[in-house]
Amino acid sequence: MSLVVRARRVSLSDGERSAAVHTDGGRIVAITPFDDVPADVVTLADDEVLLPGLVDSHVHVNEPGRTEWEGFASATRAAAAGGVTTIVDMPLNSIPPTTSVEALGVKRQAAEGQVSVDVAFWGGAVPGNAGRFRPMLEAGVVGFKCFLIDSGVPEFPPLDDDGLRTALTELAAVDGLLIAHAEDADAIAAAPEPGGPSYARYLASRPCAAEESAIGRLIEAAKDTGARVHVVHLADADALPLIRAARADGVRITVETCPHYLTFAAEDVPDGATAFKCCPPIREAAHREALWRGLVDGDIDLVVSDHSPCTPELKRLDVGDFGLAWGGVASLQVGLPVVWTGARARGVGLDRVVRWMSEAPARLAGLPGKGAIAVGKDADLVAFAPEALWRVGELHHRHPVTPYAGRELGGVVRRTWLRGQESDGRPLGDLLDRGDADRPPTAGSSRERPRR
C-alpha cells in the first residue's frame, strides 16, 4: 500500500514546487526532489498540479430520512470526482436530525460501507439539547450547527437568544465550536413576502439587514461567553466590517462563503430560475466582488459548498415560484473549478484557493490529518489540470438540478487518491471522529478496511 506521486507543480503549504510525494499505509511519509523516486512512481502530466484533497465542511447529505434528496453514495461519489476527499455532513434535513448520540449512531449506520470519501459529522444545537453536547463530542462530532431563524424543517428548530447563550456557555467549557446560520427572523418578517417568479422580489424578502442583525447577536453572545463561533454561508459583504471589528476585539469568530455567492449575481438570475434559490440569497454583483476582496484580505476564512439539494419537484421548476421552491444549491462536484475559474479571472493564485478549500476547512472541523500535502498527513491527493476547460454536464449528484448546468469552467479534476488509494467509485471512505480518528466498522459490516 505504498504510492509515490510526483509532479512538476505540487501545492505545498509553503508554496508550489516540483516534488515527489511518498506515501505508505495511507499517509504521507516523505516529500523528496522530483527525481528521487522508485521505479513505479506515478508522474502527473505537465499540465497537472498535485493538490491536497479538498475538505468540504458544509454538505447536506440528507440520509437517512430524505435520501430521495441526496444520499451518502451519490454525494461522496460526486465529492471524489470533484477532488473533495473529506466532507462534513450537516445535522439537519436527514431524519432523525443529528441532535443526540443515538441519532449520530443512526447516521453512521446509514453511511457505513457506502462512502467514497471520508465523512465527519456536525452535531445539531437545538432548544434543550445543550446537555447532550459533551457525550456527542465524545462520540465524535466535530462541533455543533444551529439556526438563528426557521431552518425550513420542523424537526430542527432555531435557537433564540437564551438558547444561543446556553449553548455557547456549554461549549465554552469544552472549547467546542458553534457554527450558525445567521439570518434574523424579525428582519425577515418586516420584509416583503417572497412569491412568484420574480428574483428581485425574493431577494427583497431576505434583506442584508437580516444577516447583519443575526451576526451581531452571535458576536454579542460569543463575546459574553468566550466561546468559538463560525458564520456559515455569508452572502452579505456589508457584514464584513462587523466581523472584522469583533475579531479586533478578541471575539473568536470565523466565517465562510460559498461558490455560488462568488460566482452569480442577483442582476443575472433569470426570473423563475429556482435552481438559484438559497438562503441567504445570492445578492448583487457588488456583494460578490466585495466577498472576493474579503477572501483575499483574510476577512473570510474559507469557501465550502453548502451543497443542499432536494428533489426536482421540490424546486418547483414547473411554476418557477421562489416562494414555494426549496432553498438550496447543488454544487459539491463543481466547487473547485467554480472557485478557481473566479479566482483566475481576478488574478488570484491557485495556492489561495487550496488554502480556502482544504487547509482552512480542515482546521475549522478539527481534522489535523487533512488539509495539506505534508509528512504525517493523510495521502489525500488530487491531480488538477488548471488550464483545461470543460462544460458542466452530467454530475454524480442524485439530481441534475444545479445553477451551474451548462456553464463553462476552467480546471479539470483528473484523478483523486484517498489515503493512498485511487478513487474509482468504490466505497474507500471512512467515518471520522473529531481529531481524525477513523471509526471501527459497525457491527455486521464485512467491508475490508485499510488501516492506518
| Residues near Zn ion (CB under 5 A) | 306
The Cα-based distances of 76 to 113, 213, 322, 430 in angstroms read 12, 35, 29, 11
Q: Which is nearer to Zn ion, 183 or 321 (CB)?
A: 183
| Cα(363)–Cα(69) distance, integer angstroms | 29
Question: At its nearest, how many Å lie between Zn ion and the CB of residue 59?
Answer: 8
Query: DSSP letters of 339-405?
Result: HHHHHHHTT--HHHHHIIIIIHHHHHTT-TTSSS--TTSB--EEEEEEEEEEE----SSSS---TTT
Question: At its nearest, how many Å lie between Zn ion and the CB of residue 341?
Answer: 22
Question: At its nearest, how many Å lie between Zn ion and the CB of residue 232?
Answer: 6
Q: Which is nearer to Zn ion, 327 or 342 (CB)?
A: 327
Copy the grid coordinates of residue 422: 485511487
Q: Which of 340, 378, 310, 329 shows the shortest CA–CA distance to 86? A: 378
Question: At its nearest, how many Å lie between Zn ion and the CB of residue 364?
Answer: 14
Question: At its nearest, how many Å lie between Zn ion and the CB of residue 50?
Answer: 30
Q: Which is nearer to Zn ion, 164 or 332 (CB)?
A: 332
3-state secondary structure of 282: coil
Q: Which is nearer to Zn ion, 62 or 129 (CB)?
A: 62
CA 196 to chain centre: 30
| Cα(352)–Cα(109) distance, integer angstroms | 36
Q: Which is nearer to Zn ion, 212 or 306 (CB)?
A: 306
| Closest residue to Zn ion using C-beta atoms | 306
3-state secondary structure of 110: helix
Copy the grid coordinates of residue 324: 414555494
Residues in the chain: 452
Question: At its nearest, how many Å lie between Zn ion and the CB of residue 86?
Answer: 17
Q: Which is nearer to Zn ion, 118 or 306 (CB)?
A: 306
Specify whether the CB–CB gap between 309 and 331 falls below 8 A.
no
Question: At its nearest, how many Å lie between Zn ion and the CB of residue 200?
Answer: 24
| Cα(240)–Cα(40) distance, integer angstroms | 49
Question: At its nearest, how many Å lie between Zn ion and the CB of residue 60?
Answer: 6
Q: Which is nearer to Zn ion, 76 or 305 (CB)?
A: 305
Q: Kind of pairing, strands 54-59 and 2-12? A: unpaired
Q: Which is nearer to Zn ion, 306 or 380 (CB)?
A: 306
- Who's near 306: CB < 8 A, 6+ residues apart? 58, 59, 60, 232, 233, 258, 260, 278, 328, 329, 331
Question: At its nearest, how many Å lie between Zn ion and the CB of residue 192?
Answer: 24
Looking up cell 499505509, which residue turns up?
25
Strand partners, 121: 89
3-state secondary structure of 199: helix
Question: At its nearest, how many Å lie between Zn ion and the CB of residue 290?
Answer: 22
Q: Which is nearer to Zn ion, 183 or 299 (CB)?
A: 183
| Cα(353)–Cα(52) distance, integer angstroms | 11
Question: At its nearest, how many Å lie between Zn ion and the CB of residue 262?
Answer: 16
Q: Which is nearer to Zn ion, 89 or 321 (CB)?
A: 89
Q: Which is nearer to Zn ion, 112 or 306 (CB)?
A: 306
Q: Which of 333, 236, 330, 232 shows the shortest CA–CA distance to 276? A: 330
Specify whether the CB–CB gap between 80 and 381 falls below 8 A.
no
